[in-house]
């Protein structure tokens, strides 16, 4: 598929959103196994949801802009 061959470039500021998304997913997985983070379950789900949507939006925009440049 050509979808996976499109190359994009990300600034450091844009990587913050992706890293927050990944980190919140790891913490969510950790809450399943540890009671310490269970009090923060709802805020983490909200953070994860926002960062997933934001990351996908940034990725799709970058792919669209990259495709138009070629």
Q: What is the pLDDT of residues 5-52, one digit of tens each?
A: 777 787 888 888 888 999 998 888 877 777 777 788 899 889 999 999
Q: What are phi and psi of 7, to 5 degrees?
A: -100, 140
The DSSP secondary-structure symbol of 39 reads G
Higher pLDDT, 1 or 28: 28
Its pTM stands at 0.56
Buried b (16+ CB within 10 A) or exposed e, 25-47: eebbeebeeeeeeeeeeeebeeb
Task: Please report where in the chains the tokens 């495709």 appear, as a residue.
Answer: 67
């Amino acid at each position: 598929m050509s979808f996976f061959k499109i190359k994009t470039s990300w600034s450091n500021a844009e990587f913050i959103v992706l890293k927050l998304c990944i980190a919140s997913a790891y913490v969510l997985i950790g809450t399943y196994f540890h009671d310490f983070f269970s009090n923060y379950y709802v805020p983490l789900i909200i953070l994860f949801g926002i960062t997933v949507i934001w990351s996908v939006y940034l990725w799709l925009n970058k792919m669209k802009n990259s495709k138009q440049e070629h």
